[in-house]
Structure 1
């Protein structure tokens, strides 16, 4: 049975996890499978489009040949211009696409009855993406638009950092399976490749799963409390894995951190509140370190006062409202608040909260929620 003697701070828990952790190596992922991964960077090697293209159906012409053209004084062409469809490259020497009605043919003489603007009806070289444009910065999450650009640049793969995360779900019944699923999906949205293993709530089963696991990050779920059947922490210690049990985070007090050699381990509670609170407070920063990601911070004033207990870091759920952050819940993550939250923040343990109107740093939900 686990016991919690003294709580370590959230910062100390992070130090345990981050000690010696290195950014994982770059790997190549097929473009169509890279969405959601964390990029190692992409710079456009050539402009898009590489040649001017038509954005409307019409006649491809050179605008300089049609200066002053009108119905009273049409411009004469000795050859029929080329017809292009939207999306096609313009012929060499052409820089403009005109409507079909502007061309009047009499015998072998072709007349243009209106003067176009140079470039009209076209998208010029580099209008979509300039050469050397930074499509993806290192640490940026790959989105569908990035995949599209990479495909148009002729790339078959993208350079990404893909951490492997192993979840060991210590089966306890009830809502715990949902907790494991929720954390797995949240980690996947943050760029990890997640595998899940369900094991019995016994010392032997947990220890065996831990010994067999190879990953960049190991997360156990369940069995971290002080109940008679909560044996996760004792199981880790039985195979000589040092564990700091009890973190000054609300929610998430019964969580633990440790290391299996160079691999960080986070032992999450089985309840969703405690698991998610700990994941946001220490799991995401660790995952960000592994992928060299800088998670965007959004600074806004808070609409009403946040009160917090000194000595404990508290997770706060926030809604975006009229350019401010509206606190929904402090130190707890009820489902109604999670369903309404746009962002979250962490009140540090050395403060008592924030007064109304103070600028507060928050992280947008999206990867985690």
Structure 2
């Protein structure tokens, strides 16, 4: 049967979708402890210096560096120990000429001292006196005030995705709440008379729902809140009613449909009637995933995915993932992790489309090799058994064994 839609390259299709959207990034204040992977929507500066007092990086003795100049094992410097700096508290005495104070790692450097001699570089003479066996320079083994970050120093710009170390850095400065982009709500509707829930034993001709869960996982990883709206049979009225209700409570609607032309047309018809302008892209020059529908309904994006699991996940990675980051205020999504590997087998293609082929990574003879996992797009375990994908470019008729290829990791 001839195709009834015009295909666009993925980059062009995504641009068409984005050109129809004017996302209004919603914000919320959250506890910093709960802000991992959230997109910051404020510019943060340090409210104070860190550390706020000079600290020792070693167990040893806080000294005036000049009192140790020239010290060697054969000609040590002699210093009088005036006390011990307690952890978590200050020290009332000041280190003066030819004096030292016992300090511990992370402890405060007492007034008058400007360096720390490691305990291994000293020798006790008695309870009050030590020999310093090697000289230290000013600032040696000391973290100065503001050496980590200075008061007023920029920390993060708006649009920064908070990492584990960022949370620790904010907590160190007492920043316990942050303003972040609200997570987009992603309604996921799965369709098909043959699709049943995973907990149900399929009958003849039936399959368990896969796409709801792979798409929900992708949405959650991209900052979205997946809303599973169940399985709808291949009936226009049922699908229209379910998608309209789902779109009312979500920011994005994803419909996982069948791969037949009739099912694609059903999804497109529904999208065209959910709101204006309706379908903006019907068909993408990509394999797997050609029967893709992109739409905008009264300001909300809608993505119609092919029903085959591999196709659905590839298309969701191309369109849903960057869309969710865009709705959180990021013009460009975070860079995906990639590795370079040697292709283990030829990959055939045709010009005019992008082919995405799953690969497993194997190290042989100290080189990383990408072994294609060839399989039909309705076989979920071609994805399960792979570590990433190789993209055959739009203008290429294939890739050859032995070529160095870029593997986008899952």
Equivalent in 156, 167, 189 of residue 147 of structure 1: 167
Q: Which residue of 2 aligns with 1:14?
A: 14
Tell me how far 1:19 sits from its aligned partner. Answer: 1.5
Q: Higher RCO, 1 or 2 (CA under 8 Å, sep at least 6)?
A: 1
How much is the aligned-residue C-alpha RMSD, in angstroms?
Answer: 3.9
Quick one: structure 1 residues 296 and 47, their matched pair in 2 at CA, closer, same or farther if it must change by over 3 Å?
Answer: farther
Structure 1 ranges of 4+ moved more than 6 A: 130-134, 227-230
Q: Which residue of 1 aligns with 2:25?
A: 25
Quick one: structure 1 residues 203 and 182, their matched pair in 2 at CA, closer, same or farther if it must change by over 3 Å?
Answer: closer
Output the TM-score relative to the length of structure 1.
Answer: 0.78
Q: Which residue of 1 aligns with 2:315?
A: 278
Q: Which residue of 1 aligns with 2:181?
A: 161
Quick one: structure 1 residues 204 and 306, their matched pair in 2 at CA, closer, same or farther if it must change by over 3 Å?
Answer: closer
Deviations 1:340-367 (A, max 9, x none): 54443433444323445666555443xx
2:94 maps to 1:62:
no
Return the alpha-carbon distance in structure 1 between the equivalents of residues 392 and 265 of structure 2.
Answer: 29
Return the alpha-carbon distance in structure 2 between the equivalents of residues 284 and 357 of structure 1.
Answer: 31
Report 1:288-327 matches (<5 A).
Answer: 288-290=325-327, 291-296=330-335, 298=338, 300=340, 302-303=342-343, 304-319=345-360, 326=370
Task: Name the stretch that deviates more: 12-21 or 223-232.
Answer: 223-232
Q: Which residue of 2 aligns with 1:249?
A: 286
Quick one: structure 1 residues 88 and 240, their matched pair in 2 at CA, closer, same or farther if it must change by over 3 Å?
Answer: same
- Preserved contact between residue 61 and residue 118 of structure 2 (Cα < 8 Å): yes
Equivalent in 193, 196, 205 of residue 173 of structure 1: 196
Q: Which residue of 2 aligns with 1:260?
A: 297
2:130 maps to 1:111:
yes
Quick one: structure 1 residues 42 and 99, their matched pair in 2 at CA, closer, same or farther if it must change by over 3 Å?
Answer: same
Quick one: structure 1 residues 289 and 362, their matched pair in 2 at CA, closer, same or farther if it must change by over 3 Å?
Answer: farther
Deviations 1:51-97 (A, max 9, x none): 43223333332322233446754423373344433223322333333
- Preserved contact between residue 9 and residue 247 of structure 1 (Cα < 8 Å): yes
Q: Secondary structure at the match of 1:93?
A: coil
- Preserved contact between residue 255 and residue 267 of structure 1 (Cα < 8 Å): yes
Tell me how far 1:183 sits from its aligned partner. Answer: 1.3
Q: Secondary structure at the match of 1:79?
A: strand
Q: Secondary structure at the match of 2:196?
A: coil
Return the alpha-carbon distance in structure 1 between the equivalents of residues 190 and 107 of structure 2.
Answer: 58
- For the pair shown, the structure with the greater C-alpha radius of gyration is 2
- Preserved contact between residue 22 and residue 299 of structure 2 (Cα < 8 Å): no
Return the alpha-carbon distance in structure 2 between the equivalents of residues 136 and 317 of structure 1.
Answer: 36
Return the alpha-carbon distance in structure 2 between the equivalents of residues 26 and 239 of structure 1.
Answer: 23
Gaps of 5+ in 2: 84-99, 199-207
Gaps of 5+ in 1: none
Output the TM-score relative to the length of structure 2.
Answer: 0.71
Equivalent in 99, 106, 121 of residue 87 of structure 1: 106
Return the alpha-carbon distance in structure 1 between the equivalents of residues 388 and 263 of structure 2.
Answer: 36
Across the two proteins, how many residue pairs are aligned to each other? 361
Q: Secondary structure at the match of 2:134?
A: coil
Q: Which residue of 2 aligns with 1:235?
A: 270
Tell me how far 1:247 sits from its aligned partner. Answer: 3.3
